[in-house]
Structure 1
Amino acid sequence: MYKIRFVDLFSGIGGIRLAFEQAAHCLNIESECVLSSEINRDAQLVYQKNFAQTTLGDIRLIDKLPEHEFLLAGFPCQSFSHAGKKEGFIDTRGTLFFEITRLLDTYKPQAFIFENVRGLYSHDQGRTLATIKDEIQKRGYSFHAFLLNSANFGLPQNRVRIYLVGILDASPTFELISDLGPKDSHSYNPQQLSLFYPPKKSVTVADILENNPDEKYDCSPTFVNALKRIFNNDLNRLHGIRLIDYRGGNSIHSWDLGLRGECSVEEIELMNRFILKRRNKKFGEAQDGKLLTQEQIASFFKHPNLGEILNSLVTKKYLKLINDKYKPLSGNFSFEVYKFVDPNKISVTLVASDANRLGVYHNQRVRRLTPREAARLQGFPDNFILHPNDDKAYHQLGNSVSINVVKAVAQEVIIKTLYSTQERIDKSQLKLCQAYVLGKDTSS
């Protein structure tokens, strides 16, 4: 059996490694991780339990890389994320990319696979990605960037990430096709974006749900009763509902639920208009943080008792008064669940900050998704050992990769690399592998 060696940098809990090993195995190729690096202690624990290998810590303390053929790295994404400050290489975490190039100079493998958030693609009007491309190409590698959505690779999650791949001294053509996928989790139609993962069927959230998870994941009776009141006991209407105080649309707000005290019809109407109008440029350029005076509020909510209504909302802590200006006090972190996924659709993106607050109405229970369900959304097999602390497990899974996507990318990179270096793959095994992922019968 042919054998390839790889290095796993910024390894996290080992998602990229797992996917790469699966890809190699599918191609009847043996793989060996010769070095892994992860600075977070909790992630190191999970990595060791699953791969029986202790990771090195801070990448900055690694002098050089051992001999290997493939370099894998999910380098820190906060600097390029829409959820972060998007400071890029100004941010210390952003400069960690240059630790990769430093190590590339100590040993140049045949190929690399990097994963990051989609914000990297357009950060600083494309200049950040151009810098990365230049650093890679001047070291003799081809450079390809793909925006891929997990929903197109057999996972019920609307998750777009950028995958950077390249091969040393070669200019291959990859079969992968960039596609951002659906605008939201309710308008998904599967596309064939890779030879290895064409759509076999529409996978939905229902496919990853546990039948009878622990009761500790159930929402509180107070929260459930408030939802029942809003929806007249028809909790099927929860599917796809989000709970957030800074947006309108298909949303439930804390004042609708009465979480801080029951609100009158007038108070609810004022709050709904408030969050709609405060985004109007008429009141300033700040998209979400505008504070409005009573006079400004009166321009869109005329009521003889406006002052009393505002005082009541301040007392109940739905509004906060700052220098004679009002702002909503509650955000989506004030809810037990911030979004209810629809079992018949795909999920919103799993992210580290609130993966523990995705909800579902399933089997007559209003509950949060479990860590195992979150792992399934990412394509982790059920025998993958998660962190014993649920909150840490959720956080790690939100930071990890979608196994199916990385596996598809890795299969193509491995094949193109071996072809470009004049190596031979067992073509009969490759045919079986392709048939397997295509869902065809290989018994004949």
Structure 2
Amino acid sequence: MTKSAIDLFCGAGGLSAGLEMAGFRVLAGNDCFEAAGKTFSATHPNAQFIPGPIEDLSVERLMRVTGLKKGELTVLVGGPPCQAYSVYNHKRGMHDRRATLFREYLRIVEGMKPEWIVMENVKGIYSIGGGEAVRTIKAELAALGYDVEEAVLKAEDFGVPQERRRVVFIGNRLGLPISHPDPTHGPDRAHPFTTIQDAIGDLPEIENGEDPGAPAYRTEASSAFQRQLRGNATHVTQHAAPRLGKVNMDRLPHIPQGGSWRDIPHELLPAGMKRAKRSDHTKRYGRMRWDGLACTILTKCDIHWGAYIHPEKDRAITVREAARLQSFPDYFEFFGSKTEQYIQVGNAVPPLLGKAIGEHLLTLMSHQVRRAA
């Protein structure tokens, strides 16, 4: 029987895409980001996107849309912001909306009573209140009958060509064992890390500010990663380079692969960076290495923020390149403005990380089948 999933705070649907790769049937997604909702709807045709804030999402509507009754959902997934919830007994209390969002997530858990839950959050959640956030999350879910364990997962350990850390909570109300997926990529593992060359080396060569439309791929797929993400696609979409101004274009030729702002002549540096310590801003004006991993893809692939300069071309990476580095299949079309497209890509759970989580969930669920037998 196909396992069902609902994705709260779904964004463009990176985690949903990964679960579908693993064999789950995603029935619905909810988010208040309109452009992301259009992307989710277009790329998850078998799921119902429910727009609007989670505060307005009733359990009754979820059941009506999915056809499920309480207790029938296999897994509820989502990444509610938890930064404020850790201190809700103290100064900020429930005044911070981010704390309320986690409360809303708990409301859906209580109403739907899924067999399993998966939550993801930034690694920084461990430092909030000396770990109080994590303890509180687990205590609140325990009060609803869920055993929960969390672990830090590294996206690159699962074939994503990017250094990205996320805390993943996995829980169930069935009394079954809980664990997290074992790494599959890296030294002394089944597969090497997926490099930037593996990830984007087949995409058309373009210059600063160039929009080629929907060109054909530059080469045949030369890596398993490229073959997987290309699927049946024959042309590349959303591969337009942001236009950098002259002052930045004067800086970029000085930066080698693996280099950064430190390689820019002092007289060409922004005024604020002329006073910076050499140990500061380690990723700013960084140029990617073909044989390396990307830094964490953020909601703005701005060269002032991090290493978002193409390995060879003097330009910033495109939406498609950012999506590849997040392991989004090429059939994903991101809706909205260019800014909104980058936000959707950067906010997402990398689909290949979602796939690893989904496949591991199925393994954990097999214990339930054996126990029933």
- TM-score, with length taken from structure 2: 0.75
Give the alignment's Cα RMSD to 1 decimal: 3.4
Question: What per-residue deviation string (whole Å, max 9, x for no partner) do you get for residues 318-351 of structure 1?
Answer: xxxxxxxxxxxxx99xx9x732222221111111
Name the CA distance, whole Å, in 2 between partners of 1:61 and 1:226.
48
1:368 matched to 2:305: no
Q: Which ranges of structure 2 fall in alignment gaps of 5 or more residues?
A: 87-91, 210-240
Cα distance per residue 1:345-399 (max 9 Å; x no partner):
11111111x3243533445x21111111101111111111122532211111111
| Partner of residue 57 from structure 1, selected from 44, 52, 71 | 52
Aligned-partner Cα distance in 1 for 2:35–2:293: 29
Q: How does 1:42-441 map to 2 (within 5 A)?
A: 42-52=35-45, 53-64=48-59, 65-66=62-63, 67=68, 68-76=73-81, 79=84, 91-174=96-179, 176=181, 190=186, 198-209=189-200, 210-213=203-206, 215-216=208-209, 217=241, 219-228=244-253, 231=254, 237-243=255-261, 250=262, 252=264, 255-257=266-268, 274-276=275-277, 338-352=285-299, 354-357=300-303, 358-363=307-312, 365-387=313-335, 389-420=337-368, 422=370
Q: Is the 8 A contact 2:326 2:345 kept in 1?
A: yes
Q: How far does residue 54 in structure 1 lie from its aligned partner after superposition? A: 3.0
Task: Give the 3-state SS of the residue equivalent to 1:143 in structure 2.
Answer: strand
Tell whether the 8 Å contact from 1:18 to 1:403 is kept in structure 2 after alignment: yes
Verify the 8 A CA contact 1:113 1:410 in the aligned structure 2: no
Aligned equivalents of 2:302, 2:368: Cα separation in 1? 44
Please give the secondary structure, in 1, of the residue aligned with 2:51. Answer: coil
Aligned length: 319
CA gap of 1:172–1:413, structure 2 versus 1, over 3 A, is same
Structure of greater Rg: 1
Give the conservation status (yes or no) of the 8 Å contact 1:242–1:251: yes
**In the alignment, is the contact (CA less than 8 A) between 1:147 and 1:160 conserved in 2?**
yes
Paired residue type of 1:399:
N
In structure 2, how many angstroms separate the alpha carbons of the residues matched to 1:395 and 1:118? 19
Question: Which consecutive unaligned segments of at least 5 residues does structure 1 have?
Answer: 25-30, 82-86, 180-188, 193-197, 232-236, 244-249, 261-267, 280-287, 289-330, 426-444
AA at the equivalent of 2:109: L
Shift of 1:80: 8.7
TM-score, with length taken from structure 1: 0.64
Amino acid at match of 1:160: R
Task: Determine the C-alpha separation between the residues in 2 that align with 1:10 and 1:369.
Answer: 26
Q: Secondary structure at 2:121's aligned position in 1?
A: strand
- What are the superposed Cα offsets for residues 20-77 of structure 1, whole Å, 9 maximum, x if unpaired? 11111xxxxxx43333211111111211221234323211112214231110112236
Shift of 1:258: 5.2
